[in-house]
Amino acid sequence: MTAPLISQTEPELRTEATTDIVGYRLRRAQLSVFQRFNAAFEMLNLRPAEYSVLVLIADNPGRKQTEIAEILGIKRANFVALVTGLETRGLIERQAAPGDRRANALYLTADGVKFLDEARAIQDRFEADCIARLGGVERRDALLRLLDTLC
Amino acid sequence: MTAPLISQTEPELRTEATTDIVGYRLRRAQLSVFQRFNAAFEMLNLRPAEYSVLVLIADNPGRKQTEIAEILGIKRANFVALVTGLETRGLIERQAAPGDRRANALYLTADGVKFLDEARAIQDRFEADCIARLGGVERRDALLRLLDTLC
DNA sequence: TATTGTTATACTCTATAACTATA
DNA sequence: TATAGTTATAGAGTATAACAATA
């Protein structure tokens, strides 16, 4: 019922004032999910942001770098290295944007399409695991709605 | 009902495949909450991790550096600079730990206690704002439960 | 031998300023 | 003059290895 007055092992720390806080729990959950994501994508050597970029390019071929970066909240200066990395791996291409010679239009390569097929399969399994942990699709949707109110 | 076949402004990007994902929404919500936290604590010049450290020391005076660091998931090597920063500001003290001359026992100073009073007041208002955004304490609790399943 | 605090180091992510070529 | 991409740079946060003092 109550804690023993004298603990024989290490006395527990009082953590409620720090841990019963929305921001703290959000951070811990996000770190945990990203760690599992990185483990799942270790063989593909793909970061969460890189996965998002590939999917966005696949679903919106020919868009400019800045457009893709903006959606993900990545500064265009920091987006350069990310795009260069994916291009060096042969997954995407920078092409001349029609009508604006300053801009790069982004496209998946054939290798990028194949690679993304694998990545999407892994992500689908990963998302299914998240949904299972949450206790079903309804609870996943409830979580997303709650998270949106915090943005 | 449906989108116009020809858009007169910028055609919208398809983002569902990236944005309807637990990890992505978690990251966006966490960044948003931390940005507001940092804005609220700008006048106190206090980071989220620093606030947590002060609260943990206040509620567990005399604990060793490693104990506090472990709870927050901070490597003890990285914890040194954080503790030194708070000590340099006169908010906490490293004292000799009784019974173990290797360890530092952490305590709030008198200034630290006063400072933490202010910080706690700000945090209480901040948490109340989070609860209001979420739509009440029940929904906040529901969110925390859902987040825990992901850890 | 193992642990505490520490230093050094490196890698990621993020933020800003400034340059170039185009618009 | 403004914008797209780029470079350089600096600051957080995080990770590992290694050392001295102590257990």
Interface of A with B in 18-37 (CB under 8 A): 18, 20-34, 37
Nucleotide with minimal C1' distance from the CA of A38 is C12
Residue B11, pLDDT score: 73
Helix then strand then coil, in percent of chain B rounded to 5, is 60, 5, 30
Give pLDDT, residue B23. Answer: 96
A23 to B32: CB separation less than 8 angstroms, yes or no: no
- The radius of gyration computed from the CA coordinates of chain B, to the nearest angstrom, equals 21
| pLDDT score recorded for residue B10 | 62
**Per-residue confidence at A11, pLDDT binned at 50, 70, 90?**
confident
Tens digits of per-residue pLDDT, A125-151?
999 999 999 999 999 999 999 999 999
Boundaries of every domain in chain A: 22-149
Nearest by Cα to B26 from B128, B150, B114: B150
Chain A 58-87, residues with CB within 8 Å of chain B CB atoms: 58-60, 63, 67, 71-73
**pLDDT at residue A8, as a whole number:** 44
Q: Give, in order, the Cα–Cα distances in Å from B109 to each of A11, A38, B62, B90.
A: 23, 41, 12, 7
Of A58, A78, A54, A55, nearest to A66 by C-alpha is A78
Decide if pLDDT at A4 tops 70.
no
Judge whether residue A33 contacts strand C, using its CB and a 7 Å cut-off. no
Partners of residue A148 in chain B, C-beta under 8 Å: 25, 29
Q: What residues of B are in contact with residue A123 (Cβ under 8 Å)?
A: 21
**Quick check: B101 CB within 7 A of strand C?**
no
- For chain A, give the percent of residues with pLDDT over 70: 93
Q: Which positions on strand D lie below 7 Å from a protein C-beta?
A: 3-9, 12-18, 21-23
The DSSP output letter for B107 is: E
Interface contact B144, partner A, CB < 8 A: yes
Per-residue pLDDT of chain B (151 residues; tens, 9 = 90+): 344 444 445 678 999 999 999 999 999 999 999 999 999 999 999 999 999 999 999 999 999 999 999 999 999 999 999 999 999 999 999 999 999 999 999 999 999 999 999 999 999 999 999 999 999 999 999 999 999 999 9
Whether B109 and chain A come into contact, CB under 8 Å, resolves to no
CB contact under 8 A, B34 and A17: no
- Contacts A72 to B, Cβ<8 Å: 18
Q: Residue B77's pLDDT is what?
A: 98
Mean pLDDT within A83-104: 97
CB contact under 8 A, B33 and A26: yes
Whether residue A116 contacts residue A55, with contact meaning beta carbons closer than 8 Å, is answered with: yes
Second CATH level (architecture) for the domain B26-149:
Orthogonal Bundle (1.10)
CATH topology of domain A22-149: Arc Repressor Mutant, subunit A (1.10.10)
Name which of B9, B20, B27 to mutate to probe chain A: the one with the most chain A Cβ atoms within 10 A of its Cβ.
B27
B77 Cβ within 7 A of any nucleic strand D atom? yes
| Contact criterion met (CB < 8 Å) for B26 and A24 | no
